[in-house]
Amino acid sequence: MIAAELLLPTTLWLGWLVYLGVLLWACWRTPWVELLSDQRRQHLLFGTMLALFLLWLVRRDFASGLSFHFIGMTAVTLLLDWPLAVLCGLAAQLGLLALGRLDFAALGVNGLLLVAVPVLITEFCALQVERRQPRNLFVYIFCCGFFPAALTALACLLGGLALLWHDGLYAMPPWLEDFVGYLWLVMFPEAFINGMLVTGLVVFYPDWLETFNRTRYLSAPWKDSDPP
């Protein structure tokens, strides 16, 4: 998460503009009728909002204006599908804003880095897996849970560094040339947490996952002697 004083006003305004577009598109694609008529899905949405808010509260703030925390949006996207995942991320941001843990001016930029980019990566990977229609359960767990989460951590970190480097208000540390070695320390925990959450949901509550095809993944395998 990036503080507002580390970014130029132009970057902050552009971040708000793009993020508002993402939020409007998510609101347009949200199945409001199904959501309002399904009490179980409402409880799932509100519970996910609270869990994501608490996850983002557990973070390390640095004096430079940067902060580090786990993202968790990969599991949220697989759980709620991308429109509700975007709105869930916004709700978590508003909770941080109410507690003074997030700058209002930087909400757009941080929303793009922590919400829009993770949702986009996870949705892309889930669509690619669904297009190939694998029957192996581990393909869903690894290709929709572990791998997108690691890729999300990498994209958010590099995207944030690119913004800081472009605006030039943040003094880059001298150890930046050795930064590649530290990427694994960020990518693996993010992949592990999201992957374990997805695995637990697949095993105990597969009906909660909006992107999980229970009929295909959990059905008995076909034999050559079975009739078509």
Domain 4-215 part of CATH 3.40.1190.20: no
CB 190 within 8 A of CB 71: yes
- pTM for the model: 0.91
Read off the pLDDT of residues 142-168 as tens digits, 9 standing for 90 and up: 999 999 999 999 999 999 989 998 888
pLDDT at 168: 85
Name which of 114, 109, 142 is nearest 128 in CA terms: 142
How is the chain split into domains, by residue range?
4-215
Report the distance separating Cα 91 and Cα 101, nearest Å: 14
pLDDT beneath 50: ranges in the chain:
220, 224-228
Residues in the chain: 228
pLDDT at 227: 46
pLDDT at 180: 66
